[in-house]
Amino acid sequence: MLIESKHSSCLGCVYLIIQDNCSWFDKPKKIPYDIKYKGCKHRIPRIKSLNSTLIVKRIVDLFKGELI
């Protein structure tokens, strides 16, 4: 069973680098606090899906957790 990433913050994004900077831009920029926890349209999750069990799927769905 595959579980898809549903979280949409900057956390877990491939563009997030050290000290909350976003590397999507030519020169990394600081991520504003209000954007960091809702993400943006350029977000690509580090892990798009995870092969798991029904129990893990239920936990992820229940807590809307990011797949790490």
The domain limits of the chain are 2-63
Cα separation, 19 vs 15, in Å, equals 12
Tell whether the model's pLDDT for residue 64 goes beyond 80.
no
User: What contacts 56, CB < 8 A, 6 or more positions away?
Assistant: 3, 50
pLDDT of residue 24: 94
- pLDDT at position 19, please? 84
22: helix, strand or coil: strand
Query: pLDDT per residue over 11-53, tens digit each?
Result: 888 899 888 899 999 899 999 988 888 888 888 887 776 677 8
Kindly report the pTM of this predicted structure: 0.59
pLDDT for 21 equals 93
pLDDT for 67: 54
